[in-house]
Amino acid sequence: MSKVMEKTATEKTETVEAEHPAAPFLRMDRIPHIWCPTCGIGTVVRCFADALEHSKVDLNKIAIVSGIGCTGRVAGYMKLDAFHTTHGRPVPFATGLKLGRPELLVTVFSGDGDLVGIGGNHFIHAARRNIDMLVVLVNNFIYGMTGGQNAPTTPISARSSTMPFGNFERPFNLPHLAESCGASFVARWTSLHIRRLTKSFREAIARKGFRFIEVIAPCATLYARLNKLGTGFNLMKFYHDNAIIDHDADTRDVDIRFQDKIICGKFVDEERPTYSEMMHEHYTRILGDKFVGMPPEGGMIRDTEEKSPSKGKKATKERKSKTSKAKSAKSNETGGK
């Protein structure tokens, strides 16, 4: 027995390098990230990566669109086709991307200030049109990257750098906003609910239409410090003690008050025609064979020109020739003036 123990103690230990489970979904050359310790955004990203893995989605058919802010950095860290847009504009950018490449799983990842503050108008109309995209809004109740200003989700009486005596503006009830504008899938979780959030991502990925998931996440650096709420651990404990799961809740009743109960769950899950489907059906009915819609596989113009460069150049020359002839005819009609 002693000889075996002695042999084991003298053996050299081999070091085996193992890849992190989330590595295939992240740009590891950009790690470590810029997010503060105990920030919940990284947890949300990991849940999304797990959902992609379990959903067996083709990673070449996914596009991530983000705006400006702490959550806006997600586009830079995920190892997917990603677009980092201007402040408040990820939703309209994602709309154009989806209409031009309908085969893509277009996902918007951004914060409360970017999506419903600066970009609120774009948010409500994308939901109204039922644009086929997944919108993930990480809500930390404050503008985290720019100094802790009051946000459209800051609870009444909570303090921010621009409202040091407490907020008196009524905040958005985001699930109700999304549902009332027309979202076909609406859910809310906290960054504590790892398994439930991952499942919600998987469900949303499998659906179509405007899908909205709000994730409550801690901001220990600004929101917690300004409101004397302790550390990120204290905020996570608060979620544990005060989150109530109620899938049947009326979204009108799920607004969040300062340091009060947080109602979580899947509130809306409906099947409705998307914007593209309604557009295709409408124009086909009105115009018949004259309407040529974007094929479901997308990429019609791009793929055609890539497969046949000569045809692409010929088509360009034909367009220029037609434009020149049209200008010449108009000039003749006006007497050359």
Per-residue pLDDT tens over the stretch 195-244? 999 999 999 999 999 999 999 999 999 999 999 999 999 999 999 999 99
Averaged confidence pLDDT in the chain: 88
For residue range 172-183, list pLDDT tens digits in order: 999 999 999 999
- CA distances 237 to 37, 150, 218, 256, Å, are 16, 24, 11, 17
Per the listing, tokens 């949300």 go with: 44
Strand ranges, E, within 145-261: 185-190, 210-216, 243-245
CATH placement of domain 23-276: 3.40.50.970
pLDDT value, residue 304:
43
Helix runs in 243-308, H state only: 275-287, 300-307
- Alpha carbons 181 and 158: distance in angstroms, whole number: 27
DSSP string of 12-42, one letter each residue? PPPP-----TTGGGB-GGG-S-SPPTT-SHH
Task: Tell me what the mean pLDDT of segment 295-305 comes to.
Answer: 54
Asked whether the beta carbons of 285 and 265 are under 8 A apart, the reply is no
Q: How confident is the model at residue 297 (pLDDT cuts 50, 70, 90)?
A: low
Task: Tell me what the mean pLDDT of segment 183-202 comes to.
Answer: 98
pLDDT value, residue 314:
52
pLDDT at 79 over 60: yes
Q: Which of 36-40, 65-69, 310-314 has the lowest mean pLDDT?
A: 310-314
- Alpha carbons 28 and 19: distance in angstroms, whole number: 10
Per the listing, tokens 């302790």 go with: 230
Which residues does 228 contact at the CB level (< 8 Å), separation at least 6? none
- Alpha carbons 113 and 135: distance in angstroms, whole number: 14
pLDDT value, residue 335:
54
- Alpha carbons 117 and 198: distance in angstroms, whole number: 26
In single-letter form, the type of residue at position 279 comes to M
User: How long, in residues, is the chain?
Assistant: 337
The 3-state DSSP class for residue 202 equals helix
Give the pair of three-digit tokens for residue 185.
């899938």
pLDDT value, residue 17:
75
Q: How confident is the model at residue 325 (pLDDT cuts 50, 70, 90)?
A: low
Considering only CA atoms, which of 109, 96, 32, 101 is closest in space to residue 70? 109
Show the CA angle centred on residue 101, arms to residues 98 and 105, nearest 5°: 60
Considering only CA atoms, which of 206, 154, 210, 150 is closest in space to residue 181? 210
Name the pTM for this structure: 0.84
pLDDT value, residue 23:
84
Cis geometry, peptide bond prior to residue 37 (ω within 30 degrees of 0): no
Asked whether the beta carbons of 140 and 219 are under 8 A apart, the reply is yes
pLDDT at 16 over 90: no
pLDDT at 87 over 50: yes
Asked whether the beta carbons of 230 and 248 are under 8 A apart, the reply is no
pLDDT at 306 over 50: no
Q: Give the residue extent of every domain in the chain.
A: 23-276, 299-337
pLDDT above 90 covers a percentage of the chain that reads 76
Strand partners, 211: 134, 185
Burial 54-74 (b: 16+ CB within 10 A, else e): eeeeeeeebbbbbbbbbbbbb
pLDDT value, residue 300:
46
Asked whether the beta carbons of 250 and 173 are under 8 A apart, the reply is no
Helix runs in 154-231, H state only: 174-181, 194-206, 225-226
Considering only CA atoms, which of 131, 96, 136 is closest in space to residue 116? 136
pLDDT value, residue 14:
72
Higher-confidence residue of 166 and 310: namely: 166
Asked whether the beta carbons of 298 and 102 are under 8 A apart, the reply is yes
- Alpha carbons 91 and 117: distance in angstroms, whole number: 13
For residue range 117-155, list pLDDT tens digits in order: 999 999 999 999 999 999 999 999 999 988 999 999 999
Q: How confident is the model at residue 22 (pLDDT cuts 50, 70, 90)?
A: confident
pLDDT above 70 covers a percentage of the chain that reads 83
- Alpha carbons 202 and 272: distance in angstroms, whole number: 19
